[in-house]
Amino acid sequence: MVNNSKGVEFIIHGIVQGVGFRPFIYRLAQEIGLTGTVSNSSKGVVVRIHCGPEQLDCFQTALTTQAPPLAKITSIEQRILDDYPPRQDFAIDVSESGPVSSALIPPDIAICRDCSRELTDPDDRRYLYPFINCTNCGPRFSIVETIPYDRPKTSMKQFPMCASCGAEYGDPADRRFHAQPNSCFACGPSLSYHDKKGVSAVAGDPIAATVQALNRGDVVAIRGLGGFHLAVDGTCETAVANLRARKSRPAKPLAIMMADINQLGEITEVNPLERELLTGPQHPIVLLPKPDSALLAGNLAPGISEIGVMLPYTPFHKLLFHHPDCPKILVMTSGNISGEPICTSNECAFDKLTGIADAFLLHNRDIVTRIDDSVARVIHNEVMLMRRARGYVPAPIILKDSLPPVLGCGGGLKSTFCLAKGHFAILSQHIGDLFNIESFEFYSESVDHLKKVLEIEPELVACDLHPDYLSSHFAQELGLPLYRVQHHHAHAVAVMTEHALTNQVLAVVLDGTGYGTDGTIWGGEFLLCDQAYFKRMGHLQPLPLPGGDAAASEPYRMALAALFATFGPDGLKKKNLPPSLSAIDPSRIQLIGEMLLHNFNCPMTSSCGRLFDGVAALLGVRQVISFEGQAAMGLEAIAQAALKNSPQSLSELLSSCDKDQAPVEKNEAIQIASHHFIGSVVEALHLGRPVQEIALHFHLQLINTITQHVHMFSRQTGVKDIVLSGGCMQNRLLLEGLFLSLKQKELKVYTGSEVPVNDGGISLGQVTIGGLQHVSSHSHAGY
C-alpha cells in the first residue's frame, strides 16, 4: 500500500440500483487494485475505498465514463474518511444494505449483446434458451410484484434457481451476479405452442411450430415481455388483410419487427441516432420514413409516410428470426380487442383473442405489470417518444424543484398518470384511451401498484380541467387537495419539467382537444407560462365543431365548418363546394349547414388538430377516419411527398413564402385568422393546383404565421425560450419547420424528448403545476 493512500467515500445518486452498478464497481476496483467496499443504501450506492492520488483519479474518471449502460448518475458526493481502516480486499457489502430507495426499480431491458452471443453459441449452456438474461438485460418492472426488487418478490419466485444458476447469482465477478430473473433450461420458464382451441402441442419445437404457422399466413398470438402481440407475416398482404379484418382495424398502421439492423438496412436508410435507438437498451418501435420496398406488404401503413419498426428485444423474438424459415418481416401488433388493454395472461389470451388468433406461442412466466412497446422517432436530430412504456418506465425524470408527494391523473386519450416526490417524477406506462371499464381498471390497478412499488403516498392530486374525464373523476374521489390543471398548460409544463426550465417560457401548444378556462375547447394556443401559472397570449381563431365530438371522427364536418366560417352560407352551396366533398350526401351537407347557421350543437374550438382535419377533408385526403390523427397524418404524408419532389429545401421554401401569413385579430388574446388558411386552400383548389402542393403550402403558411407571432410575443415579453408541445407536434414536417424558422429568429426551442408531446405527457405537467401551486399556497419549506 502506498504511503500517501487515504480512505475516501463516494455516495453515487441517480439510477444506480438494479442496473449492475455494484458489480461494475467491484470489477473496476479489481482492475485498479483498490480495497474497500460497495453497498446499496437508501441514498444511493456507497463506495468506500483506500487509494493513492493516481488510483483516485482513475476511479473518478471511470465512474462517469464507464458506468453500466442503464445507470444514470445525477450527482456524486465525495469525502475523505479520516479513520477508515484498510482492508485486504474489495467486497460487495450486502449486510450494510439499508432500505433501497424503491423509486429505482429498473425498466425492462432488451437482450444485451453478450446474452445474444451466448444464445446462438452451440457450446454455451444456454444455447437457444428463450429466457436468457443477465444484469444488463431482461425483464424487470414487468415481473416485480412488490419491493424490494428481489427474486422472491417477482414472478420468478416459482422458478427456484438450479445450482449452476445459483453460483452465477452469488458470484460478484459474474455477469449474472444478483440478476433476479437468472435462469436456464434446467430451472427457468419455458415456451409452449397451442392451436386455436388452446390445445398444447406436446412434441416439437414451439418456435418451429410458430414459424410454420406464420408461413401459412396464420395469425399467432405471442406472449411477450409486457403483454401479447398478434403476429403475422409482414411480407404477405393477404395475411395482413386477414389480421386487419379480424381485429377490426381497417387502416391504423401496424408495427413490424425485423431480424436485425442489417436486414432493416437492406430496405431503408437508418440514420445513426435511429440506429442507436433501435439497438439500444430500450429497443422501442421507431417510426421511420416508409421504405419503397417490394418486401413490405402494401397494407401495413396505408396513406401514411412512416412505418414503425422494432428489432427483437427478447431472446424468444430472436429465436423466431434465428429460424431459417422465419418470414423476413413480422407484423407485431398489440394483442388486444380494439380499445381494450393488451392481454397479459394466457387465460386472457384464450378468452379474448380466440377468433383473432389461429395459434398461440405462450410461456409460463407471469407478467405482473402490463407494458406496451414504446414508440419513438427521430426529428431534427432529437429522439422523441410518442409512447413511453417498455424500456423507459419506471425510470424517473429528475426534477429541478423538489415536489411534495403528488399524483397527476392525466387526461382522457393516450392516458398516463404520474407520481412524484422530492426530485423524482415517475411517469406511468401508456395506459391507453380511458373510455371503457377494462382500461379504467388497468388505470386504477396501475396507480395502486406504482404507489406501492415506489412507496409514494400522494398528499395532493392534480387532474385535467375537463370535468368528464374518468381520470378527473378518479382524482376527485381520492379526497385529497385537488388541483385542476388546464390541459395545454400541462402540455407546456411537461416539456419545461423535462428540460428543467424553471423561468418563464413562451409555449406553442398545437393539439386536438383540451378544455379551456372559458369552457370552450382549446387546441391552438400561445401561452406565456411558468411552471405554476400561465397567461393565454393568443390562439387560433375558433371554428365551430358541428355535432361536437362527432366532428373529430368525421373530418368532412370540419371542412364544411371551415367553409362556412370563411365564406358564410354561400360556401356550402353545391356550386362552390370543392370536388372532394361531392361524395358527401347533399342532405347531410344541408343538415350541417343548418346546424352552423343556427349555431345548434356547434361548440367553438381553437383546436389545431381540427384545422388539419378540415384542410385534409377539403383536399380529399379523408372524409371519415377510423383512428385519431388519421386525416392529419394523411395530410402530412402528401405534403411530405411534395417536399420530396421539390427542388428547394424546407428552409428555402419557408423563406420564399414568409410574407404569406394569416392576419391577426386583436381581442383579449390575439387570434390568428384560421379563415385565411382555408381561403388559400380553396383558392388553390380552384386554380387546379395539385393537392400535394397545397398541403405543403398550408404547412409552410402555418409555420411562418406561428413563427411571426412567437417572435412578436418574444419581443414584447423578452422571453426567448420557446416550448413546442401538443399532439400536432407529432407532425414531423410541422415540427421541423418550426424548429428551423424559430431558430432563425435566434430563439431557443425545446420540445418533448423522453416525455411525449401528446396527451401521454400531460400527467407530468400536472404534477409540477399542482405540486408547485400547493407548495406556494402552503409556503412551508421542507419539500
Q: Which of 186, 201, 591, 597 binds Zn ion (CB under 5 A)?
A: 186
Nearer to Zn ion, 134 or 496 (CB): 134
Q: Is 181 exposed, middle or buried (0-12, 13-18, 19+ CB in 10 A)?
A: buried
The site map against Zn ion for 118-157 (x = CB under 5 A) is ----------------x-xx--------------------
Q: Among Fe ion, Zn ion, none, what does residue 36 contact (CB within 5–8 Å per kind)?
A: none
Query: Any contact of residue 628 with Fe ion (CB under 5 A)?
Result: no
Kindly indicate which of the ranges 33-41, 50-58, 160-168, 685-693 contains the residues binding Zn ion, using the contact rule CB under 5 A. 160-168
Give the residue at shortest CB distance from Fe ion.
Answer: 511
Residue 175 CB, shortest distance to Zn ion, in Å, is 7
Footprint on residues 474-513 left by Fe ion (CB under 5 A): 511
For Fe ion, the closer CB: 7 or 524:
524
| Residues belonging to the chain | 783
56 binds, among Zn ion, Fe ion, none (CB under 5 to 8 A by kind): none
Cα separation, 563 vs 675, in Å, equals 8
Query: With CB under 5 A as the contact rule, which of the stretches 152-160, 182-190, 443-451, 518-526 interacts with Zn ion?
Result: 182-190
* Virtual torsion, Cα 425, 428, 430, 433, nearest 10 deg: -100
- 162 is an interface residue for Zn ion by CB under 5 A: yes
Residue 132 interaction partner, one of Zn ion, Fe ion, none, beta carbon < 5-8 Å per kind: none
Take residue 593 and report the three cell numbers written for it: 349547414
Contacts of 351 (CB under 8 A, 6+ apart): none
Contact 736, 380 (CB under 8 A): yes
Rounded CA gap, 327 and 22, in Å? 41
759 binds, among Zn ion, Fe ion, none (CB under 5 to 8 A by kind): Fe ion
Q: Which of the choices Fe ion, Zn ion, none does residue 130 contact, using the CB cut-off of 5 to 8 A by kind?
A: none
From the list Fe ion, Zn ion, none, pick the one residue 754 interacts with, judged by a Cβ distance below 5 to 8 Å according to partner type.
none
Separation between Cα atoms, residue 745 and residue 739, nearest integer Å: 10
Nearer to Zn ion, 224 or 408 (CB): 224
Q: Are strands 359-363 and 306-310 parallel, antiparallel or unpaired?
A: unpaired
> CA separation (Å) from 34 to 59, 89, 158, 313, 602?
9, 8, 39, 36, 73
C-alpha separations of 181 from 166, 516, 543, 586 in Å: 11, 48, 55, 63
CB of 757 to Fe ion, least distance (A): 9
Nearest alpha carbon to residue 495 among 296, 728, 751: 751
Which CB, 43 or 117, lies closer to Zn ion?
A: 117
For Zn ion, the closer of residues 156 and 304 by Cβ is 156
Residue 136 or 730 having the CB closest to Fe ion: 730
Select 68 or 679, whichever has its Cβ closest to Zn ion.
68
Q: Using H for helix, E for strand and C for coil, what is the string for 725-758?
A: ECHHHHCHHHHHHHHHHHHHCCCEEEECCCCCCC
Binding residue for Zn ion (CB under 5 A) from 34, 112, 255, 258? 112
CB of 571 to Fe ion, least distance (A): 29
Q: Which is nearer to Zn ion, 117 or 535 (CB)?
A: 117
- Residue ranges in 97-136 that form contacts with Fe ion under rule CB under 5 A: none
* CB 111, CB 134: distance < 8 Å: no
Instruction: Tell me which stretch binds Fe ion (CB under 5 A): 86-94, 543-551, 714-722, 753-761.
Output: 753-761
Which of 84, 435 has the CB closer to Fe ion? 435
The answer to whether 392 touches 282, Cβ cutoff 8 Å, is yes
According to CB under 5 A, which residues from 663 to 682 bind Zn ion?
none
Out of Zn ion, Fe ion, none, what residue 73 binds, judged by CB under 5 to 8 A for its kind, is none
Number of helices followed by number of strands (H, E) in the chain: 23, 28
Q: Give CA–CA dist 94/40, Å, rounded.
A: 8
- d(C-alpha 694, C-alpha 685), whole Å: 8
Rounded to the nearest whole angstrom, what is the least distance from the CB of residue 326 to Zn ion in the complex?
22
Span from 109-117, 143-151, 468-476, 727-735 in contact with Zn ion (CB under 5 A): 109-117
Smallest distance from Fe ion to CB 754, Å: 18
| Binder of residue 426, out of Fe ion, Zn ion, none (CB less than 5 to 8 A by kind) | none
Residue 115, contacted partner among Zn ion, Fe ion, none, CB below 5-8 A by kind: Zn ion
**Residue 511's binding partner, choosing from Fe ion, Zn ion, none, with beta-carbon cut-off 5 to 8 A by kind?**
Fe ion
Q: Sort 291 into a burial class: Cβ within 10 Å, 0-12 / 13-18 / 19+.
A: middle
Whichever of 212 and 513 has its CB closer to Fe ion, that residue is 513
Pairing of strands 72-81, 6-15: antiparallel
Q: DSSP string spanning 285-317?
A: EEEEEPP--TTS-TTSSTT-SEEEEE---SHHH
Q: Given candidates 25, 143, 165, 696, which one binds Zn ion under the rule CB under 5 A?
A: 165
In this chain, which stretch among 41-49, 164-172, 414-422, 562-570 interacts with Zn ion, using CB under 5 A? 164-172
Q: Is 174 a binder of Zn ion (CB under 5 A)?
A: no
Rounded alpha-carbon distances, angstroms, from residue 202 to 193, 194, 195, 440: 8, 9, 11, 38
Report in angstroms how near the CB of residue 122 gets to Zn ion at its nearest: 18
- Report what 11 binds from Fe ion, Zn ion, none; CB cut-off 5-8 Å by kind: none
Q: Strand pairing of 375-379 and 521-529? A: unpaired
Name the segment binding Zn ion (CB under 5 A); options: 89-97, 177-185, 204-212, 510-518: 177-185
Residue 186 interface partner, choices Fe ion, Zn ion, none, CB cut-off 5-8 Å depending on type: Zn ion
Q: Which is nearer to Zn ion, 181 or 737 (CB)?
A: 181
> Min. distance of Cβ 193 from Zn ion in angstroms?
23
Q: What is the CA radius of gyration of the chain?
A: 28
C-alpha cell at 184: 436456464
**Which is it for strands 670-672 and 534-540: parallel, antiparallel or unpaired?**
parallel
* Nearest alpha carbon to residue 323 among 227, 212, 440, 426: 212
What separation in angstroms does the CA of 165 have from each of 94, 155, 271, 771?
A: 19, 17, 39, 46
The distance of closest approach from Cβ of residue 133 to Zn ion in the complex, given in angstroms and rounded to an integer, is 6
Please report how close the Cβ of residue 609 comes to Fe ion at its closest, in angstroms.
Answer: 9
Least distance in Å: CB of 511 to Fe ion?
Answer: 4
717 sits in which H/E element: helix 691-717
Residues near Zn ion (CB under 5 A), total: 10
User: One symbol per residue from 757 to 776: x for binding Fe ion (CB under 5 A), - otherwise; what is it?
Assistant: --x-----------------
Among 29, 115, 144, 371, binds Zn ion (CB under 5 A): 115
Over the window 712 to 751, marking each residue x when it contacts Fe ion by CB under 5 A and - when it does not, the resulting string is: ----------------------------------------
| CA 321 vs CA 139, 223, 314, 390, 667: distances in Å | 20, 16, 11, 21, 61
State how far the Cα of 54 lies from the Cα of 61, in Å rounded to an integer.
11
| DSSP per-residue letters across 524-576 | EEEEEE-SS-EEEEEEEPPEE-TTTTHHHH-HHHHHHHHHHHHHGGGGGSGGG
Residue 151 DSSP SS3: helix
* Whether the Cβ atoms of residue 486 and residue 415 lie closer than 8 Å to each other: no
Residue from 184, 398, 482, 669 in contact with Zn ion (CB under 5 A): 184
Closest separation in Å from C-beta 702 to Fe ion: 18
Residues in the site for Fe ion, rule: CB under 5 A?
A: 511, 514, 759
Residues in the site for Zn ion, rule: CB under 5 A?
A: 112, 115, 134, 136-137, 162, 165, 184, 186-187
